């Protein structure tokens, strides 16, 4: 960044663009009206060292009764910039948490060019990508675009481990098309697929490297929900160690886009100091791998968490542990 080595550290703040007018129905999402987002970022970085957040830039958060309303996105970028953060902007979700249907093989095979999920969307995904990337192509607060959060060419959300027979080829074609579209519009920003990297349909074993080899992809990603220790996160087929070798072979950097340790589960059972110790072990192992450039645990919420979730809140000792890995 500006001629110096750059390491990004921060949290998933996926709800950064959620406000009163675009809040998904029947959810407990914290809305970012007034100074809420600014208060969140200041609390998140109270111990210093954090510089990036990852957030959902889905079209449903800019779709206001059939017209584009960019106020939520504009505010997120303005507040992030003022507080010293850059943003990884994720353009769609594989899952149905926000109301839109699960992305099935038909979507990846061509539905992303033609289908519209009413009332969440105005236009097909490919057109949305073109629209939002054109708007923010020159905004220096964006660190990278992510095509999809945890893409998987799987039969259904209930059978997300059952892959389409041609999952790797389908995902490669999708990445080549949409990634090429973004690069034709925006030469300023990095691009990531947003893949979990732990064996999702289309990126299992060697398919991961094949997909990441597309020239539009600048960054490899990995999501670690293997538990507090590193034992299974470093497995022989789809672990972080394998992804690091695959990305090094492509001469592409790697980041952990999500990492979750249940605060209330074994072995810490609500002891946040204990959890922060395991976080430190994960960070040490991750940054010992070749090409690691960033780390974003799931997730930060200024309201704090409960005894059985992944939330980091104000004053959590994990904030200081994460910040301690910042480059001098």
Domain assignment of residue 271, yes or no: yes
What pLDDT is attached to residue 308?
Answer: 72
pTM over 0.85: yes
Give, for 328, the enclosing helix (H) or strand (E): none
pLDDT at 25 over 90: no
Domain assignment of residue 15, yes or no: yes
Domain assignment of residue 59, yes or no: yes
Residue-range definition of the domain harbouring residue 319: 8-323
CATH of the domain at 296: 3.20.20.80
Question: Are 236 and 282 spatial neighbours (Cβ–Cβ below 8 Å)?
Answer: no
Domain assignment of residue 2, yes or no: no
| d(C-alpha 100, C-alpha 121), whole Å | 9
What pLDDT is attached to residue 268?
Answer: 92
pLDDT at 146 over 80: yes
Q: Where are the beta strands (DSSP E) in the chain?
A: 8-12, 52-56, 63-64, 67-68, 86-90, 142-146, 190-192, 220-224, 254-259, 292-295
CB-facing half-sphere around the CA of 153: CA atoms within 13 A: 26
What pLDDT is attached to residue 58?
Answer: 98
DSSP 92-153: -BSS-TTSSPP--HHIIIIIHHH---TTT-SS-HHHHHHHHHHHHTT-TTEEEEES-BS---
pLDDT confidence tier of residue 206, bands split at 50, 70 and 90: very high
Instruction: Please count the structural domains in the chain.
Output: 1
Give, for 194, the enclosing helix (H) or strand (E): none
Q: Angle, nearest 10°, between helix axes 125-136 and 167-185?
A: 30
Question: Are 203 and 171 spatial neighbours (Cβ–Cβ below 8 Å)?
Answer: yes
Domain assignment of residue 3, yes or no: no
Domain assignment of residue 30, yes or no: yes
pLDDT confidence tier of residue 29, bands split at 50, 70 and 90: confident
| d(C-alpha 321, C-alpha 139), whole Å | 30
Domain assignment of residue 328, yes or no: no
Domain assignment of residue 310, yes or no: yes
């Amino acid at each position: 960044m500006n001629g110096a080595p750059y390491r990004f550290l921060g949290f998933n703040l996926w709800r950064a663009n959620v406000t009163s007018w675009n809040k998904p129905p029947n959810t407990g999402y914290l809305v970012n009206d007034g100074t809420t987002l600014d208060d969140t970022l200041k609390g998140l970085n109270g111990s210093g060292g954090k510089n990036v957040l990852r957030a959902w830039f889905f079209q449903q958060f800019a779709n206001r009764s059939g017209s584009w309303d960019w106020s939520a996105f504009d505010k997120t970028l303005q507040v992030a910039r003022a507080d010293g953060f850059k943003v990884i902007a994720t353009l769609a979700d594989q899952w149905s948490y926000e109301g839109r249907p699960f992305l099935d093989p038909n979507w990846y095979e061509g539905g992303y060019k033609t289908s519209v999920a009413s009332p969440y969307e105005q236009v097909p995904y490919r057109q949305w990508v073109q629209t939002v990337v054109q708007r923010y192509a020159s905004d220096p607060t964006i660190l990278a675009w992510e095509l999809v959060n945890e893409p998987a060419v799987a039969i259904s959300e209930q059978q997300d481990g059952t892959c389409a027979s041609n999952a790797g080829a389908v995902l490669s074609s999708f990445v080549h098309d949409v990634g090429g579209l973004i690069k034709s519009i925006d030469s300023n920003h990095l691009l990531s697929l947003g893949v979990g990297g732990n064996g999702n349909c289309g990126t299992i074993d060697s398919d991961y490297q094949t997909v990441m080899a597309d020239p539009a992809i600048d960054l490899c990603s990995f999501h670690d929900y293997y538990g507090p220790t590193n034992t299974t996160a470093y497995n022989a087929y789809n672990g972080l160690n394998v992804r690091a070798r695959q990305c090094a072979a492509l001469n592409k950097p790697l980041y952990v886009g999500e990492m979750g340790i249940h605060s209330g589960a074994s072995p810490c059972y609500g002891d946040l100091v204990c959890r922060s110790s395991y976080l430190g072990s994960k960070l040490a192992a991750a940054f010992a791998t070749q090409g690691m450039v960033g780390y974003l645990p799931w997730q930060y919420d200024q309201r704090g968490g409960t005894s059985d979730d992944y939330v980091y809140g104000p004053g959590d000792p994990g904030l200081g542990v994460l910040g301690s890995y910042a480059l001098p």
